[in-house]
């Protein structure tokens, strides 16, 4: 069997690889504190489960519309209208999670040779999805020294006559950074000047702390609204990762193009899960309060815990999502059992094999000095994980 060149060049997801390694060690009898998953441990609104049960009892077992149910598309559009973006249900495509929305956009927009400006640290699937089309990701680096905030001047320097898309993500996975509204507005102005499309991945927009507010990019201006497509899902903010309901909202012509791809690949998603998603979107947002409060307690535990570990530097405090992205290059050059740590991958391997803690190496996100850890786990396990990290670092020579 001869596989295609595109799939041979494709690397597996680093986050799922670490999760699989943790599961393997647990199956062998080892206790592993897994700080790698990108999913909250809170509960979705009760209305979601009730709506799914009602849909099943109503014999909702048939194919749904490719673009999504009218009820869910309407609920999505209403949510953005409340944030100042004048969109209609006809500008919504419901997808199998946010990941499929991003993939459909890449397929609909990009040709070989096109360029997409991506900010590092970036989510692990951005670059592979772009590369599968034959296009090229042009990475604009954000640095912990600058609070992981984007530099509009660096963005302008990265734009060429091949640039087609600017890909934004705030709050950020993996850093937890909430980008300053003024910087996003400056990037939107660059998109206007150079006639570029913006894809705004806003999946963590409801998970912020200390008064920080995520910016809805198309609500910035009329021009931004015309050239932005937003990607979202119920996965993170509604604690419904396994339901696999996402969406894109944007210009009608682009939504129609992505719908054609959708129709020839997966078609419409389960009407049962769409009923649950619609109920979640229409539920009182106060359901999220316990989850946000618990995440904030754990966020502070991470801040305090990492501050006591020599060689690990948190840098900017995460203000959104549920990740910390500390620097570990202070451990480079240290050794154990005749081996030397020379990279974040080495550090992550050491932590899981000799500390019983799973974190994701920063190479997967385009920042090889850092590791990502998730604090969306029970507090007692998080506390134990932080203790183990400190103990593992103390053993290094």
CATH of the domain at 211: 3.40.640.10
> Residue range 222-242: average pLDDT?
97
Which of 283, 318, 350 represents a domain boundary (last residue)? 283
**From CA 319, how far away is CA 39, in angstroms rounded?**
17
Q: Are 81 and 219 in contact (CB under 8 A)?
A: no
| Assigned token pair, 264 | 């020839």
E-strand ranges in 282-394 read: 323-324, 335-336, 339-340, 357-358, 360-361, 371-374
- Asked if 231 and 358 sit in the same domain, the reply is no
- Asked if 305 and 252 sit in the same domain, the reply is no
Would you say residue 14 has pLDDT above 80?
A: no
Which range among 19-28, 70-79, 144-153, 161-170 shows the weakest confidence by mean pLDDT? 19-28
- Tens of pLDDT, residue by residue over 323-359, are 999 999 999 999 999 999 999 999 999 999 999 999 9
pLDDT at 185: 98
- Asked if 249 and 348 sit in the same domain, the reply is no
Q: How many CB atoms lie within 10 A of CB 260?
A: 13
Q: Are 94 and 268 in contact (CB under 8 A)?
A: yes
Domain limits at 337? 5-43+288-394
- Asked if 82 and 209 sit in the same domain, the reply is yes
CATH of the domain at 330: 3.90.1150.10
Residue 56 lies in a domain: no
Phi and psi angles of residue 95, each rounded to the nearest 5 degrees, phi first: -130, 170
- Asked if 192 and 237 sit in the same domain, the reply is yes
- Asked if 264 and 300 sit in the same domain, the reply is no
- Asked if 137 and 179 sit in the same domain, the reply is yes
Q: Kindly compute the dihedral angle of the four CA atoms of residues 31, 36, 41, 45, in this order, to the nearest 10 degrees.
A: -150
**From CA 351, how far away is CA 339, in angstroms rounded?**
13
Residue 55 lies in a domain: no
Would you say residue 289 has pLDDT above 80?
A: yes
Residue 263 lies in a domain: yes
Which of 222, 252, 283 represents a domain boundary (last residue)? 283
Distance of CA 183 to the CA centre of its chain: 20
- Asked if 270 and 329 sit in the same domain, the reply is no
Confidence tier at 19 by pLDDT (50, 70, 90): confident
Which of 283, 306, 330 represents a domain boundary (last residue)? 283
Residue 164 lies in a domain: yes
Residue 335 lies in a domain: yes
Would you say residue 91 has pLDDT above 90?
A: yes
Would you say residue 275 has pLDDT above 80?
A: yes
Would you say residue 18 has pLDDT above 90?
A: no
Q: Are 259 and 108 in contact (CB under 8 A)?
A: no
pLDDT at 21: 81
Residue 154 lies in a domain: yes
- Asked if 111 and 166 sit in the same domain, the reply is yes
Nearest to 189 by CA among 158, 216, 152: 152
Residue 101 lies in a domain: yes
**41-73 as b/e: b if 16+ CB within 10 A:** bbebbebbbebbeebeeeebeeebebbbbebbb
Q: How many CB atoms lie within 10 A of CB 175?
A: 31
- Asked if 66 and 183 sit in the same domain, the reply is yes
List 140's β-bridge partners, or say none. Answer: 119
pLDDT at 384: 98
- Asked if 255 and 325 sit in the same domain, the reply is no
237 to 23, 166, 230, 321: CA distances (angstroms):
26, 24, 15, 9
- Asked if 25 and 130 sit in the same domain, the reply is no
Number of independent structural domains in the chain: 2
Half-sphere exposure of 91 (CA within 13 A, CB side): 22
> Residue range 276-289: average pLDDT?
97
Confidence tier at 379 by pLDDT (50, 70, 90): very high
Residue 228 lies in a domain: yes
Nearest to 190 by CA among 219, 222, 165: 165
E-strand ranges in 189-251 read: 197-201, 228-233, 246-249
**From CA 179, how far away is CA 155, in angstroms rounded?**
14
pLDDT at 60: 94
């Amino acid at each position: 069997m001869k596989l295609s060149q595109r799939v041979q060049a494709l690397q597996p997801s680093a986050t799922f690889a670490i999760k699989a390694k943790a599961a393997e060690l647990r199956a062998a009898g080892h206790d592993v504190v897994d700080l790698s998953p990108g999913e909250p441990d809170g509960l979705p609104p009760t209305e979601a489960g009730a709506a799914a049960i009602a849909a099943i009892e109503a014999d909702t077992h048939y194919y749904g519309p490719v673009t999504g149910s009218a009820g869910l598309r309407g609920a999505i559009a209403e949510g953005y209208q409340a944030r100042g973006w004048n969109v209609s249900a006809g500008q919504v495509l419901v997808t199998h999670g946010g990941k499929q929305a991003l993939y459909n956009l890449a397929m609909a927009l990009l040709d070989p040779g096109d360029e997409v400006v991506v900010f590092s640290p970036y989510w692990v699937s951005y670059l592979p999805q772009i590369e599968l089309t034959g296009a090229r990701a042009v990475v604009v680096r954000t640095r912990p020294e600058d609070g992981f905030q984007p530099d509009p001047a660096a963005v302008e320097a990265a734009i060429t006559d091949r640039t087609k898309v600017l890909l934004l993500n705030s709050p950020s996975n993996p850093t937890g950074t909430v980008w300053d509204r003024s910087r996003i507005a400056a990037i939107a102005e660059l998109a206007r000047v150079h006639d570029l499309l913006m894809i705004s991945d806003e999946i963590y927009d409801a998970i912020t702390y200390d008064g920080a507010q995520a910016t809805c990019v198309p609500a910035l201006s009329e021009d931004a609204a015309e050239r932005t497509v937003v990607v979202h899902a119920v996965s993170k903010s509604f604690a419904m990762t396994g339901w696999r309901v996402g969406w894109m909202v944007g210009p009608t012509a682009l939504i129609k193009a992505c719908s054609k791809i959708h129709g020839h690949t997966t078609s419409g998603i389960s009407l049962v899960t769409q009923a649950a998603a619609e109920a979640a979107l229409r539920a009182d947002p106060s359901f999220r309060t316990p989850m946000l409060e618990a995440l904030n307690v754990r966020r502070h535990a991470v801040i305090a815990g990492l501050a006591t570990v020599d060689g690990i530097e948190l840098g900017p405090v995460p203000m959104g999502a549920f990740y910390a992205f500390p620097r570990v290059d202070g451990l480079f050059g240290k050794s154990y059992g005749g081996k030397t740590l020379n990279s974040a991958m080495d550090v992550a391997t050491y932590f899981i094999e000799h500390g019983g803690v799973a974190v994701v190496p920063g190479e997967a996100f385009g920042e090889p000095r850092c590791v990502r850890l998730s604090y969306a786990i029970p507090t007692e396990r998080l506390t134990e994980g932080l203790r183990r990290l400190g103990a593992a670092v103390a053993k290094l020579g």
